[in-house]
């Protein structure tokens, strides 16, 4: 009997529903051709959840996703909910969901498709062949540290990391490096911050268990510069929550569009797979969003959460073929396009190639 996986689907806000529909289309196509079944269960998060229930993360979502094998997520947020109190905003729902799922490791590949070397704002010679995996700590650091307060005449947050938090994310980075080019660059601000000094010392201790992996350290300001100057020097970048947030967005531009890059948030339990971009309210509802980041996130889900690597390869190859044949959504439309297609047409094309 063929396997059945239960997939939690969170469409979210803005372009979220549009891009998730395309990823599901591709998942359906590949699951049929590979002989496994996917059963979907939909949950609310963010603005859509606020409108329906009054809170950004309803209890049904927290409980429901725990019963899934994996979760595919679009994006949340938008101007409609921007003026709510912080704890009621869509973003708070996402942060709390990640925390409740224990997804402490965020994996963000930054790869440059050969067909799109001209799409990057950097020279083709700088970006051709770039293949970086940013491993970002996701449930600790300054985004979660207590105390935090917004007062009349001052405000503060706390950047805190425990030994356990640093060790477990470092292990994820070293394990991934072992399957890649065996190089980890740990990014911190150890020249200024005690928390970074602690991060560095802890990473060095974890590295002792991975003698084959070369460990280097870089300050975050230098890392931002090096990513733009010579991105090919990096294999795995290991970093904390806020530095990873910023660096992975910078790394995303190497590829030419934020609409191309996937991410995986994993930990001990169910993983959350999502594009790195937001809900893009400026283009929502126009059918022009690039669904590739989300389709690629679905591929990461098959590979890392379900172990369906062959199906994941099929999706990755289908994306490359669609780009190779010259199909482009508007965001990458200026680069060797044969035909500009809509979000839904791009989904159809990739689903078709993935089903063969
Ligand atoms: P964004 O990523 O939504 O958009 C930035 C720019 O990139 C916009 O011009 C947008 O049109 C474009 N873009 C993004 N995804 C695209 C795609 N798939 N195809 C084509 N173009 C795309 O970032 P933002 O504008 O800073 O934030 C918008 C909202 O999204 C905010 O409410 C923010 O809080 C939220 N947000 C959510 C997440 C998430 O859900 N994980 C992440 C970041 C931002």
Does the annotation count 352 as an active-site position? no
Kindly state if the Cβ of 172 falls inside 6 Å of ligand 1. no
Question: How far is it, in rounded angstroms, from Cα 353 to Cα 87?
Answer: 43
State yes or no: pLDDT of 86 exceeds 90. Answer: no
- What pLDDT is recorded for position 267? 87
* Annotation says 41 is catalytic: no
Q: Summarize pLDDT for 293-342 with one digit per residue, the tens.
A: 999 999 999 988 999 999 999 999 999 999 999 999 999 999 889 999 99
CA pseudo-torsion sign 215, 161, 167, 99? negative
221 is catalytic: yes
User: Are β-strands 236-239 and 183-188 bridged in parallel, bridged antiparallel, or unpaired?
Assistant: parallel
* High-pLDDT (> 90) share of the chain, %: 88
Q: Which residue has the tokens 């030994």?
A: 163
* Positive or negative torsion for Cα 114, 118, 121, 127: positive
Q: Is the CB of 138 under 6 A from ligand 1?
A: no
Check residues 87 and 157 and name the one with the higher pLDDT. 157
Indicate whether residue 93 lines ligand 1 (CB < 6 A). Answer: no
Query: What's the gap in Å between 204 CA and the centre of ligand 1?
Result: 35
Nearest CA owner, ligand 1 atom 26 = 278
Q: Work out which ligand 1 atom sits closest to the CA atom of 12.
A: 40
CA 283 to centroid of ligand 1, rounded, Å = 9
Q: What confidence score (pLDDT) does residue 338 get?
A: 95
Report, as an integer, the average pLDDT of 196-220. 98
Banded model confidence at residue 220, pLDDT cuts 50, 70, 90: very high
Q: What is the mean pLDDT of the chain?
A: 95
pLDDT value, residue 256: 83
Spatial strand order of the sheet with 105-111 comes to 37-43, 4-12, 70-75, 272-275, 262-266, 105-111, 131-137, 236-239, 183-188, 214-219
The answer to whether the CB of 206 is under 6 A from ligand 1 is: no
Residue pLDDT, tens place only, 241-295: 999 999 988 888 898 888 999 999 998 889 999 998 999 999 999 999 999 999 9
Distances (CA, A) of 285 to 18, 21, 257: 8, 13, 19
Q: Return the best residue to mutate from 82, 98, 116, 280 for the ligand 1 pocket (most ligand atoms within 8 A of CB).
A: 280
Atom number of ligand 1 nearest to Cα 16: 40
Contact partners, residue 27, CB within 8 Å, separation at least 6: 7, 38, 72, 298, 302
Percent of the chain past pLDDT 70, that is, above it, reads 100
Question: 278 in ligand 1 pocket by Cβ < 6 Å?
Answer: yes
Instruction: Say if ligand 1 is within 6 A of residue 258 CB.
Output: yes
Report residue 233's pLDDT band, with 50, 70 and 90 as the boundaries: very high
CB of 287 closer than 6 angstroms to any ligand 1 atom: no
Q: What is the DSSP letter of 267?
A: S
Give the pLDDT mean for 100-127. 92
Which pLDDT value is given to residue 189? 98
Catalytically annotated residue among 114, 221, 230, 282: 221
pLDDT at residue 106 is higher than 90: yes
Split at pLDDT 50, 70, 90, the class of 44 is: very high
Domains of the chain in sequence order? 1-103+261-356 (3.40.718.10), 121-255 (3.40.718.10)
Taking a C-beta distance cutoff of 8 angstroms, is the pair 14, 281 a contact? yes
pLDDT at residue 87, rounded to an integer: 87
């Amino acid at each position: 009997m063929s396997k059945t996986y239960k997939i939690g689907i969170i469409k979210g806000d803005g372009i979220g529903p549009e891009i998730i529909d395309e990823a599901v289309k591709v998942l359906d196509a590949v699951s049929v051709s590979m002989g496994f079944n996917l059963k979907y269960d939909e949950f609310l998060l963010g603005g859509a959840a606020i409108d329906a229930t009054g809170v950004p993360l309803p209890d049904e979502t927290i409980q429901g996703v725990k019963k899934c094998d994996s979760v595919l997520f679009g994006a949340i947020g938008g101007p409609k909910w921007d003026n709510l109190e912080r704890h009621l905003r869509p973003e708070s729902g996402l942060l709390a969901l990640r925390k409740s799922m224990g997804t402490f490791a965020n994996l963000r590949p930054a790869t440059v498709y050969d067909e799109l070397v001209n799409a990057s704002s950097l020279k083709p010679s700088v970006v051709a062949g770039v293949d970086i995996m940013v491993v970002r700590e996701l449930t600790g650091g300054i985004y979660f540290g207590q105390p935090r307060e917004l007062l009349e005449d001052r405000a503060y947050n706390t950047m805190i990391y425990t030994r356990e938090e640093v060790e477990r994310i470092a292990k994820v980075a070293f394990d991934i490096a072992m399957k890649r080019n065996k190089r980890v660059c740990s990014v911190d601000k150890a020249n200024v911050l005690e928390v970074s000094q602690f991060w560095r010392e802890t990473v060095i201790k974890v590295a002792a268990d991975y003698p084959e992996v070369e460990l280097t350290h870089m300050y975050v300001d230098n890392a931002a510069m090096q990513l733009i100057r010579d991105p090919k020097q990096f294999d795995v970048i290991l970093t904390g929550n806020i530095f990873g947030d910023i660096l992975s967005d910078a790394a995303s531009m190497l590829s030419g569009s934020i609409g191309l890059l996937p991410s995986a948030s994993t930990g001990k339990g169910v993983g959350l797979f999502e594009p790195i971009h937001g809900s893009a309210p400026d283009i929502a509802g126009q059918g022009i969003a690039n669904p590739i980041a989300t389709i690629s996130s679905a591929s990461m889900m098959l590979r890392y959460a379900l172990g369906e690597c062959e199906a994941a390869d099929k999706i990755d190859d289908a994306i490359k073929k669609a780009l190779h044949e010259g199909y482009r959504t508007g965001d990458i439309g200026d680069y060797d396009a044969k035909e500009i297609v809509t979000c839904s047409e791009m989904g159809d094309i990739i689903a078709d190639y993935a089903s063969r």
